[in-house]
Structure 1
Amino acid sequence: MSTDPPGDTTRSPGALLGRRASGPYRAIRRALALGCLVAVAAVPAESPVAGASAPTTVRVLQLNLCNSGRAGCYTGRSLTRAAEVIRAERPDLVTLNEICQSDVPTLEAVFAAVHTDAMVVSAFQAAGDRPSGADTRCRNGQAYGIGLLTRLAADGRHAVHSGIHPTQDVADPEERPWLCVHVGDALNACTTHLAATSHAVALTQCGHLLDEILPAVRRDSGYAPTVLSGDLNLRLDDDPDVRACTPPGYRRVGDGAVQHILTSADIMLCCARSVGMGGATDHPALLATLVIDDTRPTRR
Structure 2
Amino acid sequence: MRVRLGHGPGWVAAAACSVLLATGSLSACDADRAASARTNPGHASTSPDTTDVRVLQLNLCNSGRAACYSGGDAVDLAVGLVHDHRPDVVTLNEVCRDDVTVFERTMSAAHPAAAVAAAFAPAPDRLTHRPVTCRDGEDFGDGVLVAAPRSSQAATTGNRSRSGVYPVQDAADPEERVWVCIDVATRFAACTTHAASTDAAVALSQCRHLLTSVVQGAARAGTRIPLVLGADLNLPATGSPGVEACLPGGYQHTDDGGVQDVVVSPGAELRSRTVVDMEGTTDHPGLLVDVALPRP
Partner of 1:4: 2
Q: 1:45 aligns with which of 37, 42, 46?
A: 42
Q: Aligned pair in 2 of structure 1 residues 221, 84: CA closer, same or farther (>3 Å)?
A: farther
The answer on whether the counterparts of 1:66 and 1:73 sit within 8 Å (CA) in structure 2 is: yes
Q: 2:89 aligns with which of 66, 72, 93?
A: 93
Cα deviation, 1:137-159, whole Å, max 9, x if unaligned, reads 11111110000110123315211
Q: What's the CA shift for 1:176?
A: 0.3
Q: What's the CA shift for 1:47?
A: 6.7
Q: What's the CA shift for 1:59?
A: 0.4
Separation of aligned partners in 2, 1:264 and 1:106:
29
Q: 2:116 aligns with which of 101, 117, 120?
A: 120
Q: What's the CA shift for 1:239?
A: 1.8
Q: How does 1:114-263 map to 2 (within 5 A)?
A: 114-152=110-148, 153-220=154-221, 222-263=223-264
What one-letter code is carried by the residue in structure 2 that aligns with 1:216?
Answer: G
The answer on whether the counterparts of 1:87 and 1:114 sit within 8 Å (CA) in structure 2 is: yes
The answer on whether the counterparts of 2:40 and 2:85 sit within 8 Å (CA) in structure 1 is: no
Look up the SS of the partner of 1:174 in the other structure: coil
Q: Aligned pair in 2 of structure 1 residues 221, 161: CA closer, same or farther (>3 Å)?
A: farther
Q: What's the CA shift for 1:43?
A: 5.2
Separation of aligned partners in 2, 1:292 and 1:193:
24
Cα deviation, 1:119-152, whole Å, max 9, x if unaligned, reads 1111100001000111111111111000011012
Q: What's the CA shift for 1:37?
A: 6.7
- For structure 2, the 5+ residue unaligned runs are 11-38, 149-153
Separation of aligned partners in 2, 1:70 and 1:140:
10
- Percent of pairs with identical residues: 42
Look up the SS of the partner of 1:249 in the other structure: coil
Q: Aligned pair in 2 of structure 1 residues 5, 114: CA closer, same or farther (>3 Å)?
A: closer
Q: What's the CA shift for 1:5?
A: 5.3
Q: What's the CA shift for 1:219?
A: 4.2
- Report how many aligned residue pairs link the two structures: 261
Q: What's the CA shift for 1:293?
A: 2.1
Look up the SS of the partner of 1:201 in the other structure: helix
Query: Quick check: 1:64 aligned with 2:59?
Result: yes
Look up the SS of the partner of 1:147 in the other structure: strand
The answer on whether the counterparts of 2:7 and 2:273 sit within 8 Å (CA) in structure 1 is: no
Separation of aligned partners in 2, 1:236 and 1:113:
34
Separation of aligned partners in 2, 1:219 and 1:148:
23
The answer on whether the counterparts of 1:47 and 1:92 sit within 8 Å (CA) in structure 2 is: no
Instruction: Extract structure 1 runs of 4+ deviating beyond 2 A.
Output: 36-48, 216-221
Look up the SS of the partner of 1:155 in the other structure: helix
Q: What's the CA shift for 1:60?
A: 0.2
Q: What's the CA shift for 1:279?
A: 1.2
What one-letter code is carried by the residue in structure 2 that aligns with 1:101?
Answer: R
Q: What's the CA shift for 1:75?
A: 0.5
Look up the SS of the partner of 1:67 in the other structure: coil
Cα deviation, 1:29-64, whole Å, max 9, x if unaligned, reads xxxxxxx8783754533379xxx9532100000010
The answer on whether the counterparts of 2:6 and 2:274 sit within 8 Å (CA) in structure 1 is: no
The answer on whether the counterparts of 2:7 and 2:274 sit within 8 Å (CA) in structure 1 is: no
What one-letter code is carried by the residue in structure 1 that aligns with 2:186?
Answer: D
Q: Aligned pair in 2 of structure 1 residues 235, 141: CA closer, same or farther (>3 Å)?
A: same
What one-letter code is carried by the residue in structure 1 that aligns with 2:41?
Answer: P
